[in-house]
Amino acid sequence: MSVLARQPGLCHYASKLACCYGWRRNSRGVCEATCEPGCKFGECVGPNKCRCFPGYTGKSCSQDVNECGIRPRPCQHRCVNTHGSYKCFCLSGHTLMPDATCADIDECASGKVVCPYNRRCVNTFGSYYCKCHIGFELKYGSGRYDCVDINECAVSTHMCSPHANCLNSQGSFKCKCKQGYKGNGLQCSVIPENSVREVPRAPGTIKDRIKKLLAHKNSMKKKIKMKNVTPDPTGTRAPKVTSKPIIYEESLSRGENSAGEKKGNEEKIKEALEEGKTEEKALKNDVEQEQSLRGDVFSSKVNEAGNLGLDLVQRKVLNSKLEYKGLNISADCSFDHGVCDWKQDREDDFDWNPADRDNAVGYYMTVPALAGHRKDIGRLKLLLPNLQPQSNFCLLFDYRLVGDKVGKLRVFVKNSNNVLAWEETKSEDERWKTGEIQLYQGIDTTKSIIFEAERGKGKTGEIAVDGVLLISGLCPDGLLTVEG
Ligand SMILES: [Ca+2]
Ligand SMILES: [Ca+2]
Ligand SMILES: [Ca+2]
């Protein structure tokens, strides 16, 4: 057989070679298969035999292949058939990869989305969402959902030591060891008594305040002497004890040394008693005058009791933290050494918190603007179970209201009634000021004094109280304005 005989489509007809049936000789003299009516999207590879290009089918390759209907499906998400081919599409939040799969778009990482200021972006497969920041939770209020701070202190999710105060803050909370304890707040240990630092307070220390009170007392004395007031001949009841308790005590202690000295001291005491009597009477007159001028209402029983004025009758006062020369301080609660006899009210909306000042001059009690909501109330009570009846007391305290619409500070005096004694709603500046309340003890003695903070709608600042003193006698007007 010749080489030509092996050509496709070449046939022997007797001794003659010609193109086979279904084949035709082309212009180059080679037999070529013929397809009728032809191959539209393919090539003719044999008589009436088409080989279709990809994406086409049918006898003459004129039909499109629907790839989207073929298993396995060529696309992961969406397939769209086209003439001769197909296209893959991905659902939103995804992107088409070169291998026709769909991958998640990390919207948070790409920076394509911006969550509201109080939320964070969380990527999900095919999407993302804006979640409340850690420490906040979604709550419905005033017509919409909003991320609000979780009060960890109120829901007891905090891990503060039992000897620590939990201070809630926006998005977080703090554990702070109570006074008398030290540590990181999660663990607090007792500070040994003698290591408690004595730090001067700002503005004006308690000692300063006492100095001022004594100055007032001395000036009153001088006034009395100048007036040369004669004691009432019929005589009011003499004070039980001398008006100069410290001198009295000193005399007694020295008196033990020798008989001679003792005699001298007795005279001294007698003198002191006389002086005290005179002073008291004079002061009483002075005070009565002052009262009538001020229009204060005082029971006449006070005068009869012979228990007036700044010259104080020495007696053992309960809760006495500090007895200073000539001044009987019933309660001194500067908050530096614990909260004294103060108690947090259990039925209010929030607690007062101890806070320390930036320049480390000791603690005070505060209601930060973060505490509670508008109109919420927090009460701090000073219990006074053994206050002497029918006597005067002066309550002095430092306070400040900082921040726009931070709220109100009120002081209630509680005996059988609860009487609003003092109120401050706003402050022109951030400085500490001194408040004073004159208390008269009738038969119905004061059981407690309540400092009540009512929150405003302001979000910054604080309502703070410090250096609370309860002193026997009348308040010395105008002397205790603290500068700074
Ligand atoms: Ca197709
Ligand atoms: Ca995503
Ligand atoms: Ca919080």
Which ligand has the nearest atom to the CA of 91? 2
pLDDT reported for residue 357:
61
Query: From ligand 2's centre to the CA of 107, what distance in Å?
Result: 5
| Closest to 471 (Cα-Cα) out of 342, 296, 290, 333 | 333
Q: How far does the centroid of ligand 3 lie from the alpha carbon of residue 148, in Å?
A: 9
Above 70 in pLDDT, residue 221?
Answer: no
**What pLDDT was estimated at residue 208?**
60
Query: Which amino acid is it at 435?
Result: G
Q: How far is the CA of 365 from the centre of ligand 3 (A)?
A: 20
* Residues at Cβ < 5 Å from ligand 3 ion: 149, 168, 173
CA of 68 to the centre of ligand 1 (A): 8
Cα of 425 vs centre of ligand 3, distance in Å, is 27
* Least distant ligand from the CA of 112: 2
Alpha-carbon gap, residue 368 to 348, rounded angstroms = 15
Q: At what angle do helices 245-255 and 259-294 cross, to 10 degrees?
A: 170
Please report the pLDDT score of residue 310 as a whole number: 29
Give the number of whichever ligand sits closest to the CA of residue 137.
3
The pLDDT of residue 289 is: 42
Ligand found nearest the CA of 55:
1
Residue 44 pLDDT level (bands cut at 50, 70, 90) = very high
pLDDT, residue 115, reads: 86
What separation in Å is there between the alpha carbon of 126 and the centre of ligand 1?
28
Please report which ligand is nearest the Cα atom of 129: 2
Distance 167 CA to ligand 3 centre (A): 8
Amino acid (one-letter) located at 210: I
- How far, in whole angstroms, is CA 290 from its chain's centroid? 45
Expressed in angstroms and rounded, the spacing between residue 34 Cα and the centre of ligand 2 is 57
Segment 161-168 shows an average pLDDT of: 90
Ligand nearest to the CA of 64: 1
421 pLDDT higher than 50: yes
Q: How far, in Å, is the centroid of ligand 2 from the Cα of 75?
A: 20
Q: In this predicted model, which residue has the larger pLDDT, 303 or 127?
A: 127
Ion ligand 1 nearby residues (CB, 5 A): 64, 81
**Residue 123 C-alpha to ligand 2 middle, in angstroms?**
5
Neighbours of 330 (CB within 10 A): 23
pLDDT category of residue 309 using cuts at 50, 70 and 90: very low
pLDDT of residue 202: 44
Q: Which of 8-22, 310-324, 341-355 has the highest mean pLDDT?
A: 8-22
How far does residue 149's CA lie from ligand 3's centre (Å)?
5
Total count of residues recorded for the chain: 484
Nearest ligand atom owner, CA of 105: 2
Mean pLDDT of the chain: 72
Tens digits of residue pLDDT in 434-460: 888 888 877 778 888 999 999 998 888
Q: Give the whole-angstrom CA distance, residue 257 versus residue 439.
A: 42
Q: What ligand has the least distance to the C-alpha of 152? A: 3
What spacing in Å lies between the alpha carbon of 168 and ligand 3's midpoint?
Answer: 5
- Cα 456 to Cα 16, 203, 364, 370: the distances in Å are 116, 26, 21, 10
CA 74 to ligand 1 center in whole angstroms: 11
CA of 65 to the centre of ligand 1 (A): 5
Average pLDDT over residues 85-97: 93
pLDDT of res. 241: 33
How do residues 379-392 score in pLDDT, each as one tens digit? Answer: 998 888 777 778 88
**Residue pLDDT, tens place only, 338-374:** 556 778 888 888 888 877 665 545 677 888 887 778 8
Q: Considering only CA atoms, give the Rg of the chain.
A: 48
pLDDT of res. 76: 92
Ligand in nearest proximity to the CA of 92: 2
254-273 residue pLDDT tens: 333 444 444 444 444 444 44
**How far does the centroid of ligand 2 lie from the alpha carbon of residue 125, in Å?**
5
- In the reported structure, the alpha carbon of residue 301 is separated from the centroid of ligand 1 by a whole-number distance in angstroms of 111
Gap between the Cα atoms of 228 and 222, Å rounded:
10
Least confident of 79-93, 240-254, 378-392: 240-254
Cα dihedral 63, 66, 69, 71 in deg (nearest 10) = 90
Q: Ranked by mean pLDDT, which of 177-181, 242-246, 299-303 comes out on top?
A: 177-181
Cα 194 to middle of ligand 1, angstroms: 92
The per-residue pLDDT for 337 is: 59
Q: Which residue has the higher pLDDT, 274 or 468?
A: 468
Residue 290 pLDDT > 60: no
Give the closest ligand to the alpha carbon of residue 52: 1
Q: How far is the CA of 130 from the centre of ligand 3 (A)?
A: 19
Statement: residue 52 has pLDDT above 60: yes
CA of 74, nearest ligand number: 1
Q: What domains lie within the chain, and their CATH numbers?
A: 4-64 (2.10.25), 68-104 (2.10.25), 107-149 (2.10.25.10), 152-195 (2.10.25.10), 206-304 (no CATH), 322-472 (2.60.120.200)
Q: What is the mean pLDDT of residues 314-321?
A: 29
